[in-house]
Amino acid sequence: MIPSSLNGFFPGNKAAGTDKLYIVPVVGRDILMALGSPSLVVESAEADIMRFYCERRLVIGQWMGVDCEVWLLSSDALAMEGYSVKELRSVLMLVGDEEFALASRAVQMLEWQVNHQFCGTCGQRTTQALADHALQCLPCNSNLYPRISPCVIVVVVDGERCLLGRQVNWPVGQFSALAGFLEAGESAEQALHREVFEEVGVEIKNIRYVGSQAWPFPGQLMLGFLADAVTTEITVDGAEIEEAHWWHYQAMPERLPPLTTMSGRLIARFLEEVSAS
Ligand SMILES: [Zn+2]
């Protein structure tokens, strides 16, 4: 049922009718995790008590071949023994990529439904579309889908050095790849040229796609790239980026983003490529 290229999570909106059912319990934007359990999902038999607190439930696909739902619980569920809430960001450090994708989808689908109870065109109440994971407005015959906002993120390379910046609201000493949202009508490549030039005044070429990551803070899709520098003089914009420097691969900043993030992966890819060459 799940392509072998996916380790465990098959996102979808239809139940496959499996014998077991997994639940991702959510309170607000936080995940309720069983104490001592390394997993986000709770089996439906264990989750039985949660039915009392359940305000909304939604099929989000299959996890390890088993139907999976997210349940939005009222804050009264926090009184249950044996569970504690984890903020979505901290879940990133606790579970693998596939399971984090499951948590991301769970929280985003719920949030989207809660925030789109009324049609933006005519103001009437929306309902769940039967054939789709969309919400529908019957009076104006329209469907609403969850909105994903693509962002580009890039490590610019100049030989043995790479360009990392610090955003204005980050602590001193913390550096990362440059990133920005796509504008309407823009390709990912155009966004990369524009963002890098706007933020640090550097021109780039030879853009290489590395990978992508759903980043639910909120609804973003990070598209990760490496690119080569055409020019190397840095002029920071001062609005988004406070400082940016070229870092030799043997003298990188002490505080780098973790490998669980796309930025951390891009930096790791740069280090891998430069030390192999
Ligand atoms: Zn409408």
Whether residue 5 is predicted with pLDDT greater than 80 in this model: the reply is no
- Looking at residue 3, its pLDDT comes to 66
- The letter for the amino acid at 147 is R
Pick from 115, 191, 114: which is nearest to 149 by CA? 191
- Looking at residue 16, its pLDDT comes to 87
122 alpha carbon – ligand 1 mean position (Å): 4
**79 Cβ contact list (under 8 Å, min separation 6):** none
- DSSP H helices in 48-187: 88-94, 97-115
- DSSP H helices in the chain: 88-94, 97-115, 188-200, 262-276
- Per-residue pLDDT of 219-271, as tens digits, reads 899 999 999 999 999 999 888 899 999 999 999 999 999 998 999 999 999 99
pLDDT exceeding 70 applies to what percent of the chain? 97
- Per-residue pLDDT of 90-118, as tens digits, reads 888 888 888 888 999 999 989 888 899 99
User: What is the Cα–Cα distance from 27 to 12, expressed in whole angstroms?
Assistant: 22
Q: Is the peptide bond before 218 cis (omega within 30 degrees of 0)?
A: yes
Q: How far is CA 152 from the centre of its chain?
A: 13
71 alpha carbon – ligand 1 mean position (Å): 27
User: What is the Cα–Cα distance from 117 to 102, expressed in whole angstroms?
Assistant: 23
From 11-15, 48-52, 63-67, 251-255, the region with the lowest mean pLDDT: 11-15
144 alpha carbon – ligand 1 mean position (Å): 10
238: left (phi over 0), alpha (psi -120 to 50) or beta: left
- Per-residue pLDDT of 121-138, as tens digits, reads 999 999 988 766 789 999
Q: Which residues make up the environment of ion ligand 1, defined by Cβ < 5 Å? A: 119, 121-122, 137, 140
142 alpha carbon – ligand 1 mean position (Å): 7
32 alpha carbon – ligand 1 mean position (Å): 34
118 alpha carbon – ligand 1 mean position (Å): 8
- Per-residue pLDDT of 12-46, as tens digits, reads 888 889 999 999 999 998 999 988 888 889 998 88
Q: Name the 3-class secondary structure at 247.
A: strand
Q: Which two tokens stand for residue 183?
A: 């504008």
- Looking at residue 46, its pLDDT comes to 86
In three-state form (DSSP H/G/I as H, E/B as E, the rest C), the secondary structure along 193-225 is HHHHHHHHCCCEEEEEEEEEEEECCCCEEEEEE
User: What is the Cα–Cα distance from 265 to 260, expressed in whole angstroms?
Assistant: 7
131 alpha carbon – ligand 1 mean position (Å): 18
- Give me the domains of the chain, ranges plus CATH numbers: 9-115 (3.90.79), 149-276 (3.90.79.10)
> How many Cα atoms are found within 13 Å in the side-chain-facing hemisphere of 166?
17
